[in-house]
Every structure is written in C-alpha cells, then in structure tokens.
C-alpha cells in the first residue's frame, strides 16, 4: 500500500519540519516519543534502541561499521531520518569529527517507558459517573457512519445529507484540495479528490489530518499543539470515557471537529461531558508505521468484467460508480461492469489504472482474496491497456520542409537529419520531411550551405 506510506511519512515530515525548539518541546510527552519512534524506518528504530542507554556521543564513522558495506545507503537514510526528527543530535568535536548523540528528552522518556511500560495520557472517568457507555460494536458503527457520511458528502456535496451536523466552516477545511468550487457552481471533486476516495481509510484519515493541521495557523491555532494532541489521542484506550475538563481550549475545539469525523464520540452527562475515542482515533499512530487493515473486502471481479460488490453501503456504491457502470442494486449486492466508457470517465477525472486495480485488490472479497491474483489478470491488463490507449498520441514540436528544388538535395537533407537522429518523417515522392524543432536552426544552416 504505497499511498498510505507516502501519506504517513508526509505527516512525520510535517513533524520534522517544525522548528527545533518546538520539536524538543513535543518530546516532553512520552506518547509523541513513542509515536515518532514507531514511525521510523526499521533500521532507524534499531539504531535508536541501540543508543538508548548510551549517553556519550558515538562517532559517525563507528556507526557506519554497523552495516554491511553494500547497504551504506540504507544506513544514511536511517541516520538522516533520525537527525531530521532530532532523535539524534549531531555533535562536532574539536577535530571537526561528527558524532551523534541521542536527544536527551527522548532518551529519558524511552528509558522510562522500558522500565515502567506505557502509561495513559489521562485517567478515564470511572463507570460510576458515566451512566452507560456505548459498546465497542456501537462505537465502531458510529465511527464508520460518521466517516462514510463525510465521504458521501464529498461525492455529492450538492445534495446535503439529512441528519448530518457538519459545520460548513469545518467542512471547508476538510475539503481543501479535494473539492474545487467555482462561483455559482456546485463544488466538484478535484483530481486529488477522486484519488482520495480510492485510498484506504487510514490513508484518508491522515490526509485529512494533514490538511487540518496545516490549516491550523489560519484559524490562529498552534500546529504543534494540534500535532501533539492528535498523537496523544491515539494512545487513549478504545471505548473508555475521558472528561473534557482535562483538555485545554484548543484541544476542546479540536475534539469537536474530530467528533464530526467520527474519531471520538462526545457524550453529555448530568454534570460534565466526556469523549470516547473510537477505532479511527486509536489507529492513528498505529497506521504511521504499518497500514494493515484487516477489513473484509467485498468485491468480486469476474473474467467477463462483471463486478459483484456485497455491500449495503451507499458510499461503496458511489465509489464503484467512479470507474464502473452500476447495473443494478439488490439489498446487499451491487452489480456492475467495468467498461471502456466507465474507465474513460475515471481517467478523465484523474484516477489512474493502478489506483483502480489496487482498490479492487485491497477490497477483494475473502472468497477471492485467497486466489492469486485476486483480480483476474485479463481484467487488470485490459484496464492498463485502456489507460495507455489514451496516451497513444505523442506530441513533438517539429518543422516541415517541402518544395525541394531537386531530389538530390532532398536526399542530402534527409541523410543529414537522420544522422543526427532528428528526422521524424519523410515522404520521398512528394519530397517533404519533418525534423524536430531543436534541429531547425542547424537544418537551415545546412540548406544555406547546399545552395
């Protein structure tokens, strides 16, 4: 799932891009240290662990000895990442030799983690106060419902769903980059928007969170605080209630927005109110390193290009409609077919063949997921072929030469152009030839000499 990785990495890039002082401030929290450590590439993780109890700086040259010579590139990537995130700090001694030292706060927090194990960011409210908490299943369906609602709204933002409570300002933040709205027109999905719909839930979530954080400054909120809160949120226990009173104002505002997306569920008690993290929230930091959705797929694609989707969700239907022709719908089944026309529609919208194929593969029904390949090869090949069909015409800027006075001169010109690899086309009968645009001046020079 390459897309997910890209998105997740990008999030950590955002963390890495923070000024050093702010980053050091983030490392006051053990949760952020943990989330950062987990987001590192495997080799970097190992280095961090190895340096955990080393307080003196270690020479860079000595570290290079850790890896085999042919993998020095991997070593550099790992070290760069550690330096970017300020997990390692560069130290130069008098002889200008570089050595690395672990960030002290980070080291301290991780050492504490190893001794005491993880702890909770805040204590849950005892069940005596909260009358009845939703069960995990209820919570999950709530999260899914909110999330689907949000996605559906992206697809047909013109027809507003009944019963949704998205505030329009919030919606605008979340839709930045995904929707384009021209004045007087209903907003339309952009290329990014279409690609977004085919992503995996975790990837979508991170995309949205990135938008949310990068737009924070416009709303007068410090992005550092949001980042730390989001990472912290993912370490709360699923399904437990946490009091809103323990949050700062910024966090309280953020949690309202997150509730709309289904990351947390807000509940009101007699005296105080609390939030309950859902699976979407607790998976946030987990999905940074690995995106393993254990979701069951629902799509069966047959070799005759027919597609059966066992789903009741309107969202699924809308997503399938992006690249296939939905023929009929039964209560639990959507039947469609992948046609050239439907795919051309998708390509027009900026969706690529690879995205469609990976969507079909990732969401393959368990009955076909075991087979290799999960999607018939003739279908995937055809989807790719249809995509390349659109790229059949190559544009090359060029010049046309005609009206040559003699056959001899024409042949000389042809040979000259061919020798330089710039002859695109020739017609000996009518004595016409076409050369690349960059060769035009040389060609003119050559013709002048011939004359």
Q: Which residues bind other proteins (CB under 8 A)?
A: 34, 37-38, 42-43, 45-46, 49-50, 52-53, 65-68, 71, 74-75, 110, 113-120, 235, 237-238, 240, 285-286, 289-290, 292, 294, 372
CB of 282 to other proteins, least distance (A): 9
CB nearer to other proteins: give 120 or 330.
120
CB nearer to other proteins: give 116 or 218.
116
CB nearer to other proteins: give 49 or 330.
49
**Separation of alpha carbons 427 and 404, rounded Å:** 12
**Separation of alpha carbons 119 and 109, rounded Å:** 11
CB of 71 to other proteins, least distance (A): 4
- Report helix, strand or coil for 372: coil
CB of 207 to other proteins, least distance (A): 20
**Burial of 235 (C-beta count, 10 Å sphere; 0-12/13-18/19+):** buried
Q: How far is CA 49 from CA 5, 75, 87, 90, 250, in A?
A: 22, 15, 11, 17, 34
- Asked whether 239 and 245 are in contact (CB, 8 A), the reply is no
CB of 51 to other proteins, least distance (A): 9
- Asked whether 213 and 302 are in contact (CB, 8 A), the reply is no
Residues in the chain: 451
CB nearer to other proteins: give 38 or 92.
38
Question: Cα 293 vs. chain centroid, distance in angstroms?
Answer: 15
- Asked whether 12 and 36 are in contact (CB, 8 A), the reply is yes
CB nearer to other proteins: give 53 or 425.
53
CB nearer to other proteins: give 155 or 368.
368
Would you say the C-alpha torsion 347, 352, 358, 359 has a positive or negative sign? negative
CB of 351 to other proteins, least distance (A): 24
CB of 369 to other proteins, least distance (A): 8
């Amino acid at each position: 799932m390459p897309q997910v990785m890209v998105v997740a990495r990008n999030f950590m890039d955002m963390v890495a891009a923070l000024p050093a002082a702010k980053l050091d401030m983030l490392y006051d929290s053990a949760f952020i240290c943990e989330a950062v450590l987990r987001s590192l590439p495997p080799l970097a993780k190992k280095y961090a662990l190895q340096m955990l109890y080393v307080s003196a700086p270690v020479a860079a040259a000595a570290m290079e000895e850790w890896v085999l010579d042919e993998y020095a590139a991997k070593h550099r990537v790992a070290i760069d990442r550690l330096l970017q995130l300020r997990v390692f700090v560069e130290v130069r001694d008098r002889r200008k030799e570089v050595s690395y030292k672990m960030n002290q706060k980070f080291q301290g927090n991780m050492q504490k983690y190893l001794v005491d194990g993880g702890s909770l960011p805040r204590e849950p409210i005892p069940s005596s106060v909260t009358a009845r908490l939703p069960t995990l299943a209820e919570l999950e369906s709530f999260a899914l419902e909110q999330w689907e609602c949000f996605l559906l709204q992206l697809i047909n933002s013109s027809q507003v769903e009944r019963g949704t409570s998205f505030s329009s300002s919030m919606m605008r933040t979340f839709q930045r980059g995904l929707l384009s709205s021209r004045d007087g027109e209903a907003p339309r999905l952009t290329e990014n928007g279409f690609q977004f719909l085919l992503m995996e839930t975790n990837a979508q979530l991170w995309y949205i969170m990135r938008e949310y954080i990068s737009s924070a400054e416009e709303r007068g909120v410090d992005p550092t605080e949001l980042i730390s809160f989001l990472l912290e949120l993912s370490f709360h226990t699923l399904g437990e209630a946490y009091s809103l009173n323990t949050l700062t104002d910024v966090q309280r505002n953020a949690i309202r927005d997150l509730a709309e997306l289904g990351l947390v569920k807000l509940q009101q008690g007699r005296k105080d109110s609390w939030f309950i993290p859902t699976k979407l929230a607790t998976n946030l930091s987990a999905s940074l390193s690995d995106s393993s959705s254990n979701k069951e797929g629902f799509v069966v694609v047959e070799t005759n290009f027919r597609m059966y989707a066992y789903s009741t969700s309107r969202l699924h239907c809308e997503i399938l409609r992006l690249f296939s022709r939905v023929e009929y719908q039964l209560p639990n089944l959507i039947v469609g077919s992948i046609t050239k026309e439907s795919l051309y529609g998708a390509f027009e919208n900026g969706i690529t063949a690879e995205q469609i194929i990976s969507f079909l593969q990732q969401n393959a029904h368990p009955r076909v997921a075991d087979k290799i390949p999960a999607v018939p090869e003739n279908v995937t090949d055809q989807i790719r072929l249809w995509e390349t069909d659109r790229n059949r015409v190559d544009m090359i800027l060029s010049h046309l030469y005609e009206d040559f006075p003699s056959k001899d001169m024409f042949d000389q010109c042809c040979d000259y152009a061919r020798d330089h690899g710039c002859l695109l086309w020739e017609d000996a009968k009518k004595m016409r030839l076409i050369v690349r645009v960059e060769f035009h001046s040389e060609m003119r020079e050559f013709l002048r000499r011939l004359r």
